[in-house]
Amino acid sequence: MISCPLSSMPVPETLQKAWDEANSLIENGEPEKALDILRDAWLECKNDTQRSQTSRYAADAGTLWGEMDINAQKRRWQKAYKNYKTALDFNPKDKETRRRMNKLASMMDENGISINSGFQMFSEGNPTPMGILAIVVATMVFLTSFKIVTEALDPDGIGLWDALTGEESSDIVLLNSSVILEISYVDSTDTRIDVDVEIELRPDFAPIHVENFLILTSEGKYDNTEFHRIIDNFMIQGGDIDHLEGRGGYAGKWFGYCNGQERNSSDDCDPSSWTIPDETSSENPGLLHESCTISMAKTAPPNTGGSQFFLIPEDSEPNHLNGVHTVFGEIVSGCEHVTAISEVPTSGESPVNTVQLKNAYIVV
C-alpha cells in the first residue's frame, strides 16, 4: 500500500483507497482509468501534501500513457511533466517527485519533445484561432468564483481547451495559467537574439494581479513594448503600454481604484488612471521576492499598480520589497535569459540597446 508522506493530517480513507486503486491500474498498464480515479479523488485532498501526492500519481499515469500511446506521446508527456511540476509546487522538498520529473524530462529530450506546449496568440496583429480561444478561456476562468479557481485542478491536464474542443471532456477549471514572453535583446557578443520566458501565474496568492495580467496579455497590450529599466543584480522592468519608457500604464479593467484611491465608480476616472489594489502587506506578504519571480511595479503610494511589472533574475532576492510590491507568479523556464538581460550595458537604468517584449501569449 502506498501511503501519504508525513503530514499533520491523516489521509482520508477514500483518498487512500483511490491512490491504491490508481497505482494498481498503473502497474497493470491501465493509466487512463487511473487518471479517472485520481481526477475524482482530487476533492478528497485536505492539504498540500495530499494534493502533491495525487498530482504525482497523475503524472506517473500520464508518463506511462505516453509510452503506450506513441501517436499522442507528446501531449501525454507534456501534461505529465506539468503534473510533476504541480506536485512540486505543493511540496517542493519531495525528492522522489523531482527525480521522476527529471527522468521524464530526459525521455522527452531523447524523443525531441519540448517541455512546454505554447501557442501563438496573434499573427501580424490579428488573433489566431488559438488566441481567440485563449481570450474566451481567460474570461471564463475569471468569471468563475475564486474559490473554484483555487480549489479545482485537472490531474490529467485536460482543462478547458479539451473541454471546449471536444477532444476530451472535463468540467475541471484550470488551477493556473502560464504566459510566455518572447523577448529580443542584444547579448554579450553584440548579437540580437530572441528568447522565451515562461511565467506560471499564481491566482491562489494574487488573483487580482493575475486577472489584470491575463487581460492585458489577451488584448495584446504587452506586444512590442520594452523593458525600459534594467538594474544588474536586481531586476528588469517593463510593461509600460503607453509610452514604453516608464511613465505610463494602467489596469486592464476597472478594479475600483483611480490612481490608488478607492472609488465607487469609474465614471470620474479616465481609463488611463485605472490601478489595482495591493495584494500584499507586512502582515501577509504572500509570495516573496525570490529569484525568478514576477512582481507588480507601482509608485510609492499603495494600490497604484497598473500594467508595469518586473522580473527578478537568478542572482537577486530583493526581500526589502516583501509586503510592499505584490509577487504574482514564478518564472518556470528561461530565467537564465532574465539574468543575461539584467547584465546588458545600460545608460543610467536604461538599456543601451532596446530590450523588446515582442509578444506575450497565454498557455492553457
Quote the CA–CA distance of 108 and 103 in Å, as a whole number: 9
Domain ranges of the chain: 13-110, 178-363
Hey, what CATH topology would domain 178-363 get?
Cyclophilin (2.40.100)
- H/E segment holding residue 318: none
- Grid coordinates standing for 297? 511595479
Same fold yes or no, 13-110 and 178-363:
no
Question: pLDDT tens, position by position, for the chain (364 residues)?
Answer: 344 444 456 889 999 999 999 999 999 999 999 998 998 888 888 888 898 999 999 999 999 999 999 988 988 898 899 889 888 888 888 889 988 988 998 898 888 887 754 444 444 344 444 455 555 555 555 554 444 444 444 444 433 333 333 333 322 223 457 999 999 999 989 999 999 999 999 998 999 999 999 999 999 999 999 999 999 999 999 999 998 888 899 999 999 999 999 999 999 999 999 999 999 999 999 999 999 999 999 999 999 999 999 999 999 999 999 999 999 999 999 999 999 999 999 999 999 999 999 999 988 6
Closest CA to 251 of 275, 227, 283: 275
Pick the CATH number of 13-110 from 1.10.287, 1.10.730, 1.20.140, 1.25.40: 1.25.40
Inter-residue contact 244 to 226 (CB < 8 Å)? yes
Strand pairing report for 257-258 and 261-262: antiparallel
- H/E segment holding residue 171: none
Q: What is residue 93's predicted lDDT score, i.e. its pLDDT?
A: 83
